[in-house]
Structure 1
Amino acid sequence: MSPMPLSQVHHITHPLVQHKLTLMRNKEASSTSFRTLLGELAMLMAYEVTRDMPTHLVEIETPLEKMQSPMIDGKKLVFASILRAGNGMLDGLLRVVPNARVGTVGLYRDPKTLQAVEYYFKMPADMAERDVIAVDPMLATGHSAVAAIQRIKACAPRSIKFLCLLAAPEGIATLQQAHPDVPIYTAAIDRQLNDHGYILPGLGDAGDRIFGTK
């Protein structure tokens, strides 16, 4: 299967998304401000990544009469956080879909090889009935996303999407080559990676800026 064309990468260009991302990129933004903006951005992006979620009709009663009205089954949606930075997006996503389950993929990037090393993995039960949205603020080299999605696929979920704030062309190409069936949703496609695998112009290390570490 050949990689999906770039047109199938969903670039979320809503003005509010772009405005908040600009504020996050600013190196003067504090950790408190960065975390708040990340939560707000995650909420806004959740509307786009869940746009095609299936619904079913339920009977309710308005103040005037009974009716059939659509609802999603949030219990069948899984937000899979790629640690550690993915956790910064969870609160915002769960505000939009509070009944969603949460999975966790613990990975760190080897500083010499830039390859992903797994140290933790936990998903909800009955994954065959669930739709997964894998979450990581940065799609840089793509190695962590590829490794995380490979582990999630072993659980045989119904579908998988990948949600990030920033993507580098190299990361998009790597993820598409390994997992051409996984749509990518991002607020920005930046210019390139530097020699250390960081996105340029980027916003620095998302995990460090979320948690105030170095």
Structure 2
Amino acid sequence: MLRGEAGTRRGAAGAGLGWPGRRGPAQPPPPQITGVSILRAGETMEPALRAVCKDVRIGTILIQTNQLTGEPELHYLRLPKDISDDHVILMDCTVSTGAAAMMAVRVLLDHDVPEDKIFLLSLLMAEMGVHSVAYAFPRVRIITTAVDKRVNDLFRIIPGIGNFGDRYFGTDAAPDGSDEEEAASMS
């Protein structure tokens, strides 16, 4: 609660209490929220964000790992204009090493979004990813529902949840084996 001047319809004035977040005539508008999906699995979080934030703006980033070098590469970027004052929710369902998330944070920083206005939202992260992002960007807020301890040689989270994008969109993973088989072989 906040203390301040209060008035009534009949013109009486006095001390009053208000609730943070409720706007009065002298309060600035709340900050804009922008969601940025790291494609493809991050896109699955957009409907929930739109359901609770009706005026949210959405951007997308496609980052893929180069199979020869193992390094992340930026392939596509679409961000709303003037996001530098926004609170940005960076969405990726799973974060294993944190390399794609860190590249996405760098892209946002290059677009003048302050580090302390970036929220990395994930369903599942590996400890390696949490530590990598937190070390590189200590003011980025990390929000996740669970943290698994390990990643395998292919940098997939163990035990993990498989390829979340494939599960959500109903597409098949590579036919050479499932994530469950990989998890069993890593035990």
Could you state the TM-score of these two structures normalised by the residue count of structure 1? 0.65
- Give the SS at the match of 2:144: strand
Greater helix proportion: 1
The correspondence of residues 23-102 of structure 1 with structure 2, limited to 5 A, is: 55-58=21-24, 73=30, 76-102=32-58
* Residues matched between the structures, number: 151
Paired with 1:196 and 1:112, the residues of 2 have a C-alpha distance of: 13
Paired with 1:72 and 1:114, the residues of 2 have a C-alpha distance of: 44
Amino acid at match of 1:198: R
Paired with 1:210 and 1:109, the residues of 2 have a C-alpha distance of: 21
Which residue is 2:70 aligned to? 114
The one-character-per-residue Cα deviations of 1:104-125 (angstroms, maximum 9, x if unpaired) are: 1111122344321111111111
The correspondence of residues 165-180 of structure 1 with structure 2, limited to 5 A, is: 165-180=123-138
Paired with 2:169 and 2:63, the residues of 1 have a C-alpha distance of: 17
Q: Greater shift after overlay, 83-92 or 114-123?
A: 114-123
Deviation at 1:171, TM superposition (A): 0.7
The one-character-per-residue Cα deviations of 1:10-29 (angstroms, maximum 9, x if unpaired) are: xxxxxxxxxxxxxxxxxxxx
Deviation at 1:86, TM superposition (A): 0.6
Structure 1: gaps (5+ residues): 1-53, 60-69
Structure 2: gaps (5+ residues): 1-19, 174-187
Q: Does 1:211 align with 2:169?
A: yes
Q: Percent identity?
A: 33
Query: Alpha carbons of 1:212 and 1:166: their partners in 2 closer, same or farther (altered >3 Å)?
Result: same
Please provide the CA RMSD for this pair: 2.2
Amino acid at match of 2:154: H
Paired with 1:71 and 1:128, the residues of 2 have a C-alpha distance of: 17
Paired with 2:129 and 2:66, the residues of 1 have a C-alpha distance of: 16
